[in-house]
Amino acid sequence: MTCPVTIRIQEDDFDIAREIALLTRSRTDIGAVVSFSGICRSDEDGAKVAALTLEHYPGMAEEEIARHVGEATSRWPLNGVTVIHRVGRFMPGQNIVLVLTASQHRQAAFQAAEFLMDYLKTNAPFWKKEESATGTGWVEAHIRDDEAAARWTRS
Residues making contact with another protein (CB under 8 A)? 38, 54-57, 59-60, 63-64, 85, 96-97, 117, 120-129, 138-141
* Alpha carbon distance 117, 27 (integer Å): 25
Nearer to another protein, 41 or 105 (CB): 41
Which stretches within 10-105 are classed as H helix?
16-24, 60-75
Report whether 122 contacts 147 (CB < 8 A): no
**Residue number, 50 or 141, with CB nearest to another protein:** 141
How far apart are CB 42 and another protein at their closest, in Å? 17
Q: Report in angstroms the alpha-carbon separations of 46 from 128, 129, 138.
A: 18, 17, 17
Task: Please check whether residue 104 is in contact with residue 32, taking contact to mean a CB–CB distance below 8 angstroms.
Answer: yes
Query: CB of residue 35 vs another protein: minimum separation in angstroms?
Result: 15
Question: What is the closest distance, in whole angstroms, from the C-beta atom of residue 137 to another protein in the complex?
Answer: 9
Query: CB-wise, 107 or 123, nearer to another protein?
Result: 123
Which C-beta is closer to another protein: that of 133 or that of 143?
Answer: 143
- Say if residues 124 and 68 touch (Cβ distance below 8 Å): yes
